[in-house]
Amino acid sequence: MSKKKEMTGRDFDALPNAEKDRIFRELDNLTPAQLKAYRPLTAKEKRAHFQPPRNKSGRPKLGKAGTEIISISVEKSLLREVNAYAKTKGIKRSELFVNGVRSLIGAK
């Protein structure tokens, strides 16, 4: 006897629509006695399924309170100089602005 492999969500998604419909009809026709073979998720399984993953993807949080996007006006010629300088130093333009502001106000 071979052990039947459980179907994953990806496996189900890969099925043709006709096969998916057949499976849905089959499940809809189960009696209450047959449904007892299926168990609800345990508390641990629910937490794992419904909680977001612990390793958050995306940008790392900067500073203690995070960041805020602002809009500033800069002369086009100055912005070209800023972009060129940031590129030669290998830093982001926003880092250059932050470093400049910090040096002006004496912040760490």
Domain ranges of the chain: 9-50, 76-105
Characterize 70-87 residue by residue with b for buried, 16 or more Cβ atoms within 10 angstroms of its Cβ, and e for exposed. eeeeeeeeeeeebeeebe
Q: Please, which residues have CB within 8 angstroms of residue 36's CB and are 6 or more apart in sequence?
A: none
Q: What is the mean pLDDT of the chain?
A: 85
- The parts of the chain modelled with pLDDT lower than 70 are 1-4, 53-59, 108
Q: How confident is the model at residue 1, as a pLDDT?
A: 46
Q: How confident is the model at residue 66, as a pLDDT?
A: 78
Is the distance from CB of 108 to CB of 102 less than 8 angstroms?
A: yes
Q: What is the pTM of this model?
A: 0.43
